[in-house]
Chains A and B, each alone.
Chain A
Amino acid sequence: MANTRKAFLSSVAETLTRPYRAILRLFGRQTDEPAEPAKVQADLCLALAARPALPEALLQPFSAAPLAAGDTRFIGRQQQSDRLLATLELWRAGRNSMIAVTGPQGCGITSFLQQLADRVGEPETCRYVTLTRRPYDMNDTLALLGTLLGCEQPCSSLEQLVDYLNDLAPSVIAIDNDHFLACRIMGAHEAIRVFGAVMVATQQRHLWLLGCQEYAWRRLSYVYRAERYFSDHIELGFFDEAELGECLVNRLRSSGIGLDVANAGAQDPITAVLARHLSTLHKLSNGKPDLAFFYCVNSLLIHPETGQLDMQAAVALDFSVLKQLLSEELFTLAEVAAHGQLTLADHGAVFRVGQPESRLLLERLYHQCLIDKDPSAAEPAYRLVPQYSDVISRYLSNANYLY
């Protein structure tokens, strides 16, 4: 919200001063400001397809995949982690608790939850499970939860599942990908209510920890008042400039390649090469790790003769394609953002259109490189291109399609 307001005010100032500068230029007068550099922007699809000319060992650490427990590349989040452990202590002392961990897509919720296994410790076990699909009704929810939580017999009722869970040893149950619960399909409300009822009914026995994307969480809060049921709500954000610098240095170091840098002086070579461009990288990526990695690896280069590491200015991505979209396409993008992902059937149910129309819309957005298909899903599921999700979400929010 603050970013939107800041952008709005700077844009107002820019719009008001533009005619003044234009008039000055018309009369051959120079304005105080230097002339704007020509903007070079990269096409979204070409940028995705481009392969940086760097050794594989250097690219590998920049993978945007979630970090497993104990991975040394995980940085920061100390405050949030301490808060979570404090709630855990209260729960152990007898206060019934449920915790929601939310944040924008790609901020590292999965990595954060996966680090818990190391930090929770005895006497409870930490069980990390991921929702892999959307539950559509009560029976579906019972079957899904039963399978995830190791119930061997299929549960036919809510009470049966609650009894099963209350018989288990106390544990911390972290459920990731809860954006699957924010569903706008007729009938799915029952599924969400059953899911919530199971958690609320067993919170004395187990500490439930939900990982959910920001917009999905907002919807759950607007419609079901979800925030009222959670004693703690931990919000993760993107990295600030210092954290992003630490993250990038960490990733470069973990490549294990001995890197030499020209004009590094007494400074650490990796820090030296990044320092010159860190501010730009942060500005372009808004601190979103995967987008920052994307810009970083496309800007890094190794001189073929000297073998020295260097970095060129990052080329901004061209998101002007968003301005060409029609309202039905913007609505589709907004629902994809809020749902996390949509299959063709989901899209058809949300917008009440036939499969050909759903396919037409989704494939068009796919070929504009605004959404991609999740390869791990059983049926084609479309989601925002991970690197671009923040820019797209902010655009949709500004255009009043996502809230």
Chain B
Amino acid sequence: MQEDTIAQLIDLLSLSRLLQVAVVLACAWLALRIVHLGLQQLIQRFPRYRLQMGQIFPVIRIFTWFLAIAFIVFGIIKPPQTIVFAVLGSLGLAIGLAAQGGVRNLLAGVMMIFNPPFRVGDMVHFGGHYGEVIRLDLSVTWLRTLDDNVVMVPNAAVLDNAVANANSGELSEMVVVNIDLPRAVPIQELRALATEAALASPYTFLKKPVSVTVESRYEFGFLLRLVIKAYVVDIRFERLLSSDITERFVEALQARGLNTAQTGSADLNPQA
């Protein structure tokens, strides 16, 4: 029985069929290249919609390959039922055995297509890394971190860990700047200064609100922490905004001659 199945399989893979398969695969690849180039052109022309357009391609790619493979199997090879059942059985066994590792990543990738926790262009905390999603593959996701490293995160991480998405498909995202000050500072004046520093930055997205709150904390002594929350106009300028607000605020303090000996520990907290 097993030998019959193998013989049938060899019969099915004739040279002409293999050529047809190659042509279909080449056509699918070519079609994807054309769609990719077309989308790149549109992105260049309408940068404002780059996130929306960027998220289309991974879906198109999966469906194109899915259709190509379905056409190859049922349109070209046309295997008899016995072989279909044999292959499906083997696949089932492989999926069952490989619940971990590659297939697990693949399954997570398929899940992410139908229920995407993020899209290309989003700023996310994923698999212990924070950065911009630059590419979504079936089994891995590529992030560009703030240090300009490209990190490959297995998609299976989405099944095990929480994913934090800072902008969820929008170009603007919230940036939080924390500035620690000694307790004996004029709070009201400094809060107004911090607000003004955030509003004055050319990278602040003014359509969304700027807020400044004050927290009390202890770190080798009692401190006041100013928490400045502002939205950046484009996720690409997240770091610039954070630095710009801090610089403006510190400069304004210096210009007013305020005593801020312990000032200056500004840090970015993109999860807030």
Contact = CB atoms under 8 A, between A and B. Distances in A.
Nearest to A186: B200
Given A219-B206, A350-B202, A352-B244, A16 B38 contact: yes
Interface in A177-211: 184-187, 189
Interface in B206-244: 206-207, 233-234, 236-237, 244
Nearest to A18: B38
A292 to B, nearest CB: 25
Given A222-B207, A400-B48, A335 B202 contact: yes
Contacts of B233: 400-401, 403
Contacts of A331: 202-203
Interface string B230-264: 00011011000000100110011000000000000
B111 to A, nearest CB: 29
Interface string A1-22: 0000000100110011011000
Contacts of B234: 400
Contacts of B42: 11-12, 15
B137 interface: no
A223 B247 CA distance: 21
A331 B251 CA distance: 22
Given A8-B46, A12-B42, A403-B207, A19 B34 contact: yes
B46 A398 contact: yes
B48 A186 contact: no
B199 A189 contact: yes
A351 interface: yes
Given A186-B196, A222-B206, A401-B233, A352 B38 contact: no
A54 interface: no
Contact-residue size bin, chain A (C-beta under 8 Å from the other chain): 20 to 34
A11 B46 contact: yes
Interface in A229-274: none
A15 B41 contact: yes
A398 B236 CA distance: 16
A45 interface: no
A399 B233 CA distance: 11
Interface in A22-45: none
B41 A8 contact: no
Interface residues of B, number: 30
Nearest to A350: B202
A186 B38 contact: no
Contacts of B236: 327
B26 to A, nearest CB: 15
Contacts of A186: 196-197, 200, 248, 252
Nearest to A185: B200
Interface string B49-90: 100000000000000000000000000000000000000000
A11 B45 contact: yes
Given A11-B42, A19-B34, A19-B38, A399 B47 contact: yes
Given A15-B38, A15-B41, A186-B248, A398 B196 contact: no
B171 interface: yes
B9 to A, nearest CB: 36
A398 B48 contact: yes
Nearest to A220: B206
Contacts of A398: 46-48
B42 to A, nearest CB: 6
A223 B206 contact: yes
Nearest to B195: A189
Most chain A CB neighbours (cut-off 10 Å) among B199, B237, B251: B199
A352 B241 CA distance: 12
Nearest to B53: A12
A189 B197 CA distance: 11
Contacts of B46: 8, 11, 398
Interface string B189-204: 0000000110111110
Count chain A CB atoms within 10 A of each CB in B38, B45, B203, B236 and give the residue with the most.
B45
Interface string A390-403: 00000001111101
Contacts of A219: 206
User: Max chain A CB contacts within 10 Å: which of B197, B205, B207?
Assistant: B207
Nearest to B210: A223
B136 to A, nearest CB: 22
A261 to B, nearest CB: 40
A8 B45 CA distance: 9
A372 to B, nearest CB: 21
Contacts of B199: 184, 189, 223
Nearest to B192: A189
Interface string A34-74: 00000000000000000000000000000000000000000
A183 B201 CA distance: 11
Contacts of B206: 219, 222-223, 403
A350 B204 CA distance: 12
Contact of B202 (A12, A187, A222, A351): A351
Interface of B: 34, 38, 41-42, 44-49, 171, 196-197, 199-203, 205-207, 233-234, 236-237, 244, 247-248, 251-252
Given A15-B41, A189-B199, A334-B202, 5 more contacts: A15-B38, A398-B48, A400-B171, A400-B233, A400-B234
What 4 pairs between A and B have smallest CB-CB spacing? A222-B206, A400-B48, A15-B38, A399-B47
Interface of A: 8, 11-12, 15-16, 18-19, 184-187, 189, 219, 222-223, 323, 327, 331, 334-335, 350-352, 397-401, 403
16 contacts: A11-B45, A15-B42, A16-B38, A19-B34, A19-B38, A184-B200, A185-B200, A187-B196, A189-B199, A219-B206, A350-B202, A352-B248, A397-B48, A398-B46, A400-B48, A403-B233
